[in-house]
Structure 1
Amino acid sequence: MTNESTDNRSAEEILADEIVQQAEEQVEEQFEAAAENISEEQEKINELELALSVAQATVSDQKDSVIRAKAEVDNVRRRAAQDVEKARKFALEKFAAELLPTVDNLERAIASIDAEDEKQKVIGEGVELTLQGLLAGLDKFGIKVIDPQDQAFNPELHQAMSMQEVEGVAPNTVIAVMQKGYELNGRLVRPAMVMVSKAAGVDTSA
């Protein structure tokens, strides 16, 4: 009886060992299969992440390109608007320069009229009206008179024709305007020709 029990237990132990071994093999196979599946999934995830990074980089580059293109378009549009504005402002420059001698002649004609002579006085009034109408038209288009009488000499706007010492007048003051100047929308068309005061004892002949 004792030997049979021993043999039976041995068989049971052998059977148990086989069952455990089979279970371990199944678990190992399942683990390997799961690990393989995880590796495949991870590989897919890595591929997707790489594709996402490439797509994000492409979108970023395209966004930068769009921003640069928009900035360039804005710059071109702004330069074109500035060019149009400059052309509009200064298109009359040559035309204005041609009209200025007429203005000078009208002013000289008015200055030469004898106010005591009734006939000349009537003519002078007509010339004065003509001059004022012409100046008003020029002013309408941005052409302004530069008449610096008694003002400080400005070499950017005035052309000094001579200098003279005048008692009681500060040096570099315009004491006479021989010909008025004109500017068009802030740009000089013709400088005013002037006589300027000088300090006492200063020799300007050299």
Structure 2
Amino acid sequence: MAASASLTSTFSFSSSRAANHLSLQPFIFPRNLILRKSFSSFPVSKAYRIFDGYKNERRSFFKSFVSAQQENQPQQTSNEDGSGPDDVQVPESAEDEKLPSSLMSLMQVYKEAILDGKEETIYEVEDMIFMLEKEKNELTQKVSTLSEEISSGKEKYVRLQADFDNYRKRSEKERLTVRSDAQGEVIESLLPMVDSFERAKQQIKLETEEEKKIDASYQGIYKQFVEIMRSLRVAAVPAVGKPFDPSIHEAIAREESQEFKEGIIIQEFRRGFHLGDRLLRPAMVKVSSGPGKKKPSTVPEQSSEQPASVAGVDNR
């Protein structure tokens, strides 16, 4: 039997192309689904008889479609392959060429079953279509659920990636801070050595050649120490001649000055240092309070016989 033989083959078809070809809304074939051989012997369940009314309506519609196709086709004579005019022919068109061969075979089987009145074959095909539609709906629901899960997973991934980037930046900043703090503590512990070298340079008076050799020796060591400090980005705080800045200077005295304006540092007692942007210790300085107020010189009218000291002349 041609119908039974066709049902035992494997079918995979596309819903959009089949619907466009048949122009039948009730026949919606799911995409990329396969009719397995086990469906060919699928028993007709009593539960499916509930859909007899719907099936009869589809069958009547399909019969009218097949009849219309046969009326529009010219009468054909017997060909060399033995096919006669009673054989059902599938219309050949550009749309037919796009349809998969499995769908064409299924349509051919269904047409032959309707025209020959083979109820069992018709029920088997309709049951397979019903099962596939049900499976399609289940798969569509699964796809929708998976799509939502994928969308939610993408959002979680983006948030997790942002949190990880923030954690990485924060960890790098903390690492640099810890390194700077440790480096600053070590350098700060070496600053008294710098003060000792500076005081020795100011207080020692070289008189003999032996003393000059000793001074040149420790000055070389001090110079090497200063180069190491510079390589670690340690720099002295500018002081004399600069405006007083309470964030980097520590004022321990104020003094009138005719040379410097008010607020200008006129003397440095202890050098200050900073490591990069971090202040290790402020510089101890003396700040100018500006030029002092001059006392007005008043010379009262006195007789020329009085001495200058009595007249109150300030010679300063």
TM-score greater than 0.5 by the shorter chain:
yes
Tell me which of 131, 136, 155 is aligned to 1:64: 155
Give the 3-state SS of the residue equivalent to 2:168 in structure 1: helix
Give the 3-state SS of the residue equivalent to 2:261 in structure 1: coil
Residue 121 (structure 2) pairs with residue 30 (structure 1)? no
CA distance in 2, matches of 1:148, 1:197: 12
Tell me which of 227, 247, 251 is aligned to 1:136: 227
CA distance in 2, matches of 1:29, 1:138: 95
CA distance in 2, matches of 1:185, 1:51: 60
Residue 272 (structure 2) pairs with residue 181 (structure 1)? yes
Q: Greater CA radius of gyration, 1 or 2?
A: 2
Distance change (3 Å), C-alpha of 1:48 and 1:136: same
CA distance in 2, matches of 1:73, 1:129: 50
Shift of 1:115: 4.9
Contact map agreement 1:147 1:177 (CA 8 A) in 2: no
- Structure having the larger proportion of residues in strand: 1
Tell me which of 177, 184, 200 is aligned to 1:109: 200
CA distance in 1, matches of 2:261, 2:59: 106
- Aligned residue type for 1:167: Q
The residue aligned with 1:197 is 288
Distance change (3 Å), C-alpha of 1:192 and 1:28: closer
| Structure ranking higher on relative contact order (CA contacts 8 Å, 6+ apart) | 1
Shift of 1:160: 0.9
- Aligned residue type for 2:217: G
User: Aligned Cα RMSD in Å?
Assistant: 3.1
Question: Normalized against structure 2, the TM-score is what?
Answer: 0.48
Question: Normalized against structure 1, the TM-score is what?
Answer: 0.71
- Aligned residue type for 2:57: F
How many residues matched? Answer: 176
Tell me which of 158, 161, 169 is aligned to 2:260: 169
Give the 3-state SS of the residue equivalent to 2:200 in structure 1: helix
Shift of 1:136: 1.1
Contact map agreement 1:113 1:121 (CA 8 A) in 2: no
Contact map agreement 1:89 1:185 (CA 8 A) in 2: no
- Spell out, residue by residue over 1:9-42, the C-alpha distance to the aligned partner (whole angstroms, 9 max, x if none): xxxxxxxxxxxxxxxxxx9862166899899877
Tell me which of 190, 212, 217 is aligned to 1:126: 217
Give the 3-state SS of the residue equivalent to 2:279 in structure 1: strand
Give the 3-state SS of the residue equivalent to 1:91 in structure 2: helix
Q: Please identify, of 192-201 and 155-164, the stretch whose mean Cα deviation from structure 2 is larger.
A: 192-201
CA distance in 1, matches of 2:54, 2:184: 96
Residue 239 (structure 2) pairs with residue 148 (structure 1)? yes
The residue aligned with 1:24 is none
- Spell out, residue by residue over 1:121-145, the C-alpha distance to the aligned partner (whole angstroms, 9 max, x if none): 4433333222211111111222222
Structure 2: gaps spanning 5 or more residues: 1-52, 62-125, 294-316
Residue 244 (structure 2) pairs with residue 160 (structure 1)? no
The residue aligned with 2:182 is 91
Query: Share of identical aligned residues, percent?
Result: 27
